[in-house]
Structure 1
Amino acid sequence: MTFTPTNLEVEATPGGDPALEESLASPPASGRRLLRAFLRDVPAVLSSVYILLVILMALLAPLIVQISGWSPYEFDQSAIDPNMGAIPIGPLGGVSAEHWFGVEPGSGRDIFARIVYGAQVSMTVALSATLLTGILGVVLGLLAGYFGGFVDTVISRVMEFLMAFPALIFMIAILSALPSDNRIVLLVLVISLFGWPYLARIIRAQTLSLKEREFVEAARASGATSAQIVFREILPNLRSTIIVMTTLAVPGYIGTEAGLSFLGVGVVPPTPSWGQMIAAAASWYAVDPMYFIIPGSFLFLLVLSFTTLGDRIRALVGSGEARA
């Protein structure tokens, strides 16, 4: 998967995906009907269950690690064989009752503990970047679409400027030049910097259409201020669009964080990160494939779950079943 916000452009641009365009243009479904349709959708439910498990794992990481008995930073030299190149002792990378997912070759750190704390990094970066991107994209898209003129020109030029950059290359350059302190905060800010224009572009297009509707004209005629029209009349009608777009953005940001960590400019060791673990596992794959497979599987399933959930929500919002 391409781990840049640019990949959202394919799915987020009206006209590029007829299914998405139809779902964004559809009126919002009844919340109760949408929930019933969602609960009948097996892929959506299974994806939601896995996502909730990862979120709970991230939130309860200290408790879970305490139960497992190993810190993600603790070395267990007795679990690796120094005479065999420091590979884990035992089958499947040292999987045992003591080390549930085995240990890291070379260091002996518990993989389960590092997976649990790595979930904190992935979810924190992805959800925080989605929240910040959502706020910037929605507010700036609303302003550009509603006020038009000079405001629209300035915001649109900024969007085009940021979208013209090869995002991944500039993320690597920016993160390489910045100090390693508060790396998670920096990741969120850098990812959001290049991510918000894609949502803002969709919101702007929807706002341009909505502001010509009769209910907006009625509100304007009744003396409502611009702020009241934007946030009380137009914004509620963008709810479905925002939900679909933000849900589809999360897997891209998870992949972006993992990719940056894999390339060495993301989370700084010894802080656990799934992407960082995959990068470290590359040199050990021939002798200990489990060290690569375990974090890779968690990352793959999380991205797949968010992608599937976003696709199913998009389908349900735009389907006749959800509106019936």
Structure 2
Amino acid sequence: MTITPPALQAPVAAEQDTVGTTPDPRWSVTRTLLRQPATVACLGYIALVLLMAVFAPLIVKVSGWDPYTFDQSAIDPDLGGIPLGDWGGISGEHWLGVEPGTGRDIFARIVYGARTSMLIALAATALTTALGILFGLLAGYFGGRVDMLVSRLMEFLMAFPALIFMIAVLSALPADNRQYLLVVVIALFGWPYLARIVRAQTLSLKEREFVEAARASGASRATIVFTEILPNLRSTVLVMTTMAVPGYIGTEAGLSFLGVGVVPPTPSWGQMISSSVTWYSVVPTYFLVPGTFLALLVLSFMVLGDRVQAAVDPGGHR
């Protein structure tokens, strides 16, 4: 056996004292993300859309137009309501042009549409996350019949044609409170995907030494689940949540495009794209403006989710 001389041990100890404590993993992930220009650009655009959603009334007040007022002076009734001027009526008065046929300000509808899309997507994500964590923990920790029942329910919902069911249900239900119905229906088919991953990780974590130690010390099941297992699922939940938001934004837009989502005159980006189909050949900007905003938002969340996954689990990402 080789014994290291004291003279060689001292520098090592001094180096350890210099290094100090291990940095917080959350700060390490944040620092990694902020060093990537693409991630910063995506975060900036997401923040911009969130600011639009939060301060929508103030922003449209500055622009001078709300999303519901018809401006008949901005369209030509003799030509079927085509906006006057070039590029769909873009001017100093209407910053992104006007809606063909009605003359409603597109900028104001984009701003309020951001509020609608983000509200539905974030609320559906929050409900999905809560249900996914709850059922995943129940199935993974308790096992047995609980695991069997939850697993069969997850398999049924994942095998069910979700889009067809959404269209059928939303078409049959009243138009009142359609935004809340969208949140519930989207979350109903979204939580099994997170629950399966939470269940698998819970099955692994509950056999670890720190959980066995907590169980041996007399900790209750609730204490073990919420203080020992759940904190170790934060990275997984963060990645899955970030990746779920763009999917729900696209789902809301798709349902609104099909006419079973947000009901007019409530602004929605998907609804605006649906309305622009009949005008695309005449006023392409009416399609391009909401389409660009929607595409950039979905892309930003997808890139952010991918970078978060790479930062949290570099080995698994590769």
Q: TM-score w.r.t. structure 2 length?
A: 0.91
Query: What is the match of residue 21 of structure 1?
Result: none
Query: What is the match of residue 238 of structure 1?
Result: 233
Distance across 1 between alignment mates of 2:24 and 2:280:
48
Shift of 1:188: 0.0
Instruction: Report the residue type matching 1:309 in the other structure.
Output: L
Which of 256, 264, 272 is residue 269 of structure 1 equivalent to?
264
Which of 112, 122, 144 is residue 149 of structure 1 equivalent to?
144
Which of 92, 98, 104 is residue 109 of structure 1 equivalent to?
104
Structure-to-structure mapping, 1:157-196, within 5 angstroms: 157-196=152-191
Distance across 1 between alignment mates of 2:39 and 2:66:
34
RMSD: 1.3
Query: What is the match of residue 53 of structure 1?
Result: 48
Write out per-residue CA displacement over residues 252-275 of structure 1, whole angstroms, 9 at most, x where no aligned residue: 000000000000000000000000
Which of 93, 96, 110 is residue 91 of structure 2 equivalent to?
96
Instruction: Report the residue type matching 2:90 in the other structure.
Output: V
Whether the aligned pair in 2 keeps the contact of 1:73 and 1:109 (CA below 8 Å) is yes
Check if 1:129 corresponds to 2:124.
Answer: yes
Distance across 1 between alignment mates of 2:197 and 2:24:
20
SS for the counterpart of 1:137 is: helix
SS for the counterpart of 1:308 is: helix
Any stretches of 5+ residues in structure 2 without a counterpart?
A: 1-22
Instruction: Report the residue type matching 1:219 in the other structure.
Output: A
Write out per-residue CA displacement over residues 22-59 of structure 1, whole angstroms, 9 at most, x where no aligned residue: xxxxxx97112111111101111111110010000000
Between Structure 1 and Structure 2, whose CA radius of gyration is higher? Answer: 2
Whether the aligned pair in 2 keeps the contact of 1:29 and 1:317 (CA below 8 Å) is no
Q: Provide the identity percentage.
A: 71
Which of 277, 290, 296 is residue 282 of structure 1 equivalent to?
277
Distance across 1 between alignment mates of 2:137 and 2:156:
19
Distance across 2 between alignment mates of 1:153 and 1:277:
44
Query: What is the match of residue 7 of structure 1?
Result: none
Which of 25, 30, 34 is residue 30 of structure 1 equivalent to?
25
Which of 239, 247, 259 is residue 252 of structure 1 equivalent to?
247
The structure whose RCO (Cα within 8 Å, separation 6+) is larger is 1
Distance across 2 between alignment mates of 1:234 and 1:318:
18
Which of 41, 62, 71 is residue 57 of structure 2 equivalent to?
62
Distance across 2 between alignment mates of 1:63 and 1:313:
33
Write out per-residue CA displacement over residues 95-121 of structure 1, whole angstroms, 9 at most, x where no aligned residue: 000000000010000000000000011
Shift of 1:319: 2.0
Distance across 2 between alignment mates of 1:164 and 1:313:
29
Counting matched residue pairs gives 294
Shift of 1:86: 1.1
Instruction: Report the residue type matching 1:191 in the other structure.
Output: I
Instruction: Report the residue type matching 2:180 in the other structure.
Output: V
Which of 193, 199, 208 is residue 203 of structure 2 equivalent to?
208
Distance across 2 between alignment mates of 1:36 and 1:195:
30
Query: What is the match of residue 12 of structure 1?
Result: none
Check if 1:78 corresponds to 2:73.
Answer: yes
Which of 139, 157, 168 is residue 134 of structure 2 equivalent to?
139
Distance across 1 between alignment mates of 2:196 and 2:169:
24
Any stretches of 5+ residues in structure 1 without a counterpart?
A: 1-27
Whether the aligned pair in 2 keeps the contact of 1:70 and 1:113 (CA below 8 Å) is yes
Distance across 2 between alignment mates of 1:33 and 1:105:
50
Instruction: Report the residue type matching 1:249 in the other structure.
Output: A
Shift of 1:83: 1.8
Shift of 1:84: 1.9
Distance across 2 between alignment mates of 1:32 and 1:300:
30
SS for the counterpart of 2:87 is: coil
SS for the counterpart of 1:52 is: helix
Instruction: Report the residue type matching 1:140 in the other structure.
Output: F
Whether the aligned pair in 2 keeps the contact of 1:86 and 1:107 (CA below 8 Å) is yes
Query: What is the match of residue 197 of structure 1?
Result: 192
Structure-to-structure mapping, 1:220-235, within 5 angstroms: 220-235=215-230
